[in-house]
Chain A
Amino acid sequence: MKNILLIRKNEFDHLYWKELLNSMDVFLVDVHQPFHIDIINLGTKGSPEAEFLGRKLDYFDKIIFLGTPAWPENNDESVFAFSELEATLISLFKISRAPVVNAGLSLSANKLLQAPIAFCKFWEKSGWVVPEIRYSYSKGQLTKTLGPDPQKHTHYLLHLSVNDYLLWPNYRVIFNDHAKFKAILEATQMEMAHRNFDFLILQFFESAGVFYLFGYVTELVEIRNNRLLRFMESVIA
């Protein structure tokens, strides 16, 4: 049985992840409060010593780091403490080379690198087309236009790991240009491996043989679905 460390911002954050992991055959340690984390000695010399709810770091086979636990109060002290704890966790996981899932994303200290549009060329290099996006603010009004309009097409949610994929809502869908779709998937998977991404959840639609990518998300849908369970087990395995 795998020992999994789940780190979340608070007890309500990413609950579906907790639910999904609870339904798997794993031993889950769910860390979501700052006091669950004990940084004993993390230094430039010697091995890092840290505990999560009393378990040492090397106890865990995989770490799913979805957010740094935050203090419940919102003031200068808690904001500073949150920043310090987050930097400490990133240092800990990088220095110890801990088995963090999606390390290429979740250990980006710079939050700018976690936004979908920050990877627009990454998507385009893989064969996706990022639809034209126009945002506008004037006289207190915010408008967003996308071309082509995604509302006129079926949206797909693509769970993608470096060697597997799952389509939502219809995993059996065959696109007119399915060979192109497969080529895009393979190119994306290669880029993912290069960037230390274990999985991505992409939102896309197809129009006239063009695959338009308009976002990626971290939410899991239909977590009781056996296919998703098997998919995520393969990611975490």
Chain B
Amino acid sequence: MNTKRLVIIGFGSEETVRHFAAYLSACRQPYDIMDLDLIQEQCALSFTYRAGMLSIQINNKMYDLNQYHSFYCRHYFKPTKNGYLDELFNKLIFALTGWLRHTNKLVVNIPGTGSSNFSKLNHLTELSGYGFIIPHAFITNRPEIVKRVASVTGNWINKGCSSYRTKVETLTDAHLAELEQLYYCPSQFQELIRGYNVRVHVVGVNCIAVKIMSPDIDYRYSLSKNSYNEIAVPEKIGERCISYCRHENLNFAGFDFIVDEADCWYVLEVNPMPGYEFYDRNIGNRISALLKDLLIGGLCDAPPVLPEREAFIHGGRRKKFF
């Protein structure tokens, strides 16, 4: 087996998996796919964990994980409607998680890393700890709090608090009329930042940014009406993104920013399993190229080249006496 062979673990029908697999094929880069779509009622599935070794068999294909050089992971549990099979599928996901979290091989991304994203408000406060500027946000189930804090409609947005994908909407009078529903379930409100969106992908120690101009508050719902352009990442923003990824053990992540009129970059969230194909197609597959290089070449041991720093009391204000 090729010592640099990589494996994609995920669902063969998923758009991001298909995109990266197509890129690797176009580059004639050998790879395997552990296609979890094959886990269906009529399949044969087994796995064995023994002394740190995990081997998995789906139908006739055997995967001995120790033989692979690196792993690109987009796996999760997806119900099959067969109770026994679901039980085993769940155990397989847990076993994969355990093994991938502790192997010394390169894993993009280690399962469970960056999972603060599942609790959005805590995620925001964690990001502020890395020096990012964040918008003011709060969660409540009290209508009077929303009326008091966010009464000027048009200046606040509403979004979900959890890992559910929800459409972001600007708070309007129509929303304010329905605030009683907060008693049923709390919700998150966030200061509206007016500006353009930027998605920064960090791949190893590299940053690539795409600027998105959109007519809608949530650009994900108007993809065909938007414009996309690659832009440079400000040095400090790039440093913080890489610093965050290093601390969180993320080799690949998608940072969402809004940049206001004063060129202030507000971070909104970090996606630890970014569905990146859409941005990639707009910038000539450069993210896929970096991802392939990372998975084949490994992480660069040398720290990223950072700009020279200067103390707050700069050289012109200092004098050495000895």
Contact = CB atoms under 8 A, between A and B. Distances in A.
A117 interface: yes
B47 A135 contact: yes
Given A84-B186, A90-B122, A43 B99 contact: no
A132 B48 CA distance: 7
Given A39-B140, A43-B136, A118-B101, A109 B115 contact: yes
Chain A residues touching B, range = 35 or more
A110 B50 CA distance: 25
A83 interface: yes
Chain B residues touching A, range = 35 or more
Interface stretch (B11-19, B64-72, B90-98): B90-98
B46 A134 contact: yes
B274 interface: no
B49 interface: yes
A118 B97 contact: yes
Contacts of A138: 44-46
A104 to B, nearest CB: 12
Q: Which of B45, B47, B162 gathers the greatest number of chain A CB atoms within 10 Å?
A: B162
Interface in B11-66: 41, 43-52
B162 A120 contact: no
Contact of B49 (A80, A90, A130): A130
Nearest to B99: A120
B161 interface: yes
B228 interface: no
A136 interface: yes
Given A40-B140, A94-B119, A134 B99 contact: no
Interface stretch (B81-89, B197-205, B287-295, B308-316): B81-89
Interface in B149-171: 149, 160-164
A13 interface: no
B4 interface: no
A183 B120 CA distance: 41
A40 B112 contact: no
Interface string B179-205: 000011111000000000000000000
B98 A121 contact: yes
B118 interface: yes
A112 B141 contact: no
Contacts of B185: 34, 80-81, 84-85
B139 interface: yes
Contact of B121 (A44, A118, A130): A44
Contacts of A106: none
A45 interface: yes
A42 B116 contact: no
Contact of A135 (B46, B124, B125, B163): B46
A87 interface: yes
A34 B184 CA distance: 8
B84 A39 contact: no
A110 B97 CA distance: 11
Interface string A124-161: 10000010111111111110000000000000000000
A113 interface: yes
A115 interface: yes
A134 B48 contact: yes
A88 interface: yes
B102 A117 contact: no
A86 B137 CA distance: 18
A124 B103 CA distance: 13
Contact of B138 (A34, A41, A81, A108): A41
B50 A120 contact: no
Nearest to B89: A137
A44 B138 contact: yes
Nearest to B94: A115
Contacts of B162: 83-84, 86-88
B299 interface: no
A88 B94 contact: no
A188 B47 CA distance: 27
A91 interface: yes
B142 interface: yes
B44 to A, nearest CB: 4
B258 interface: no
Q: What are the nearest 5 A-B pairs in CB distance?
A: A43-B138, A87-B162, A109-B118, A121-B102, A110-B115
Given A91-B121, A91-B122, A115-B94, 16 more contacts: A39-B139, A39-B141, A40-B142, A84-B187, A95-B121, A108-B112, A108-B115, A109-B115, A109-B116, A113-B97, A116-B94, A118-B97, A118-B112, A124-B52, A135-B92, A138-B44
9 contacts: A39-B141, A80-B164, A84-B187, A109-B118, A110-B111, A118-B97, A120-B49, A120-B52, A133-B50
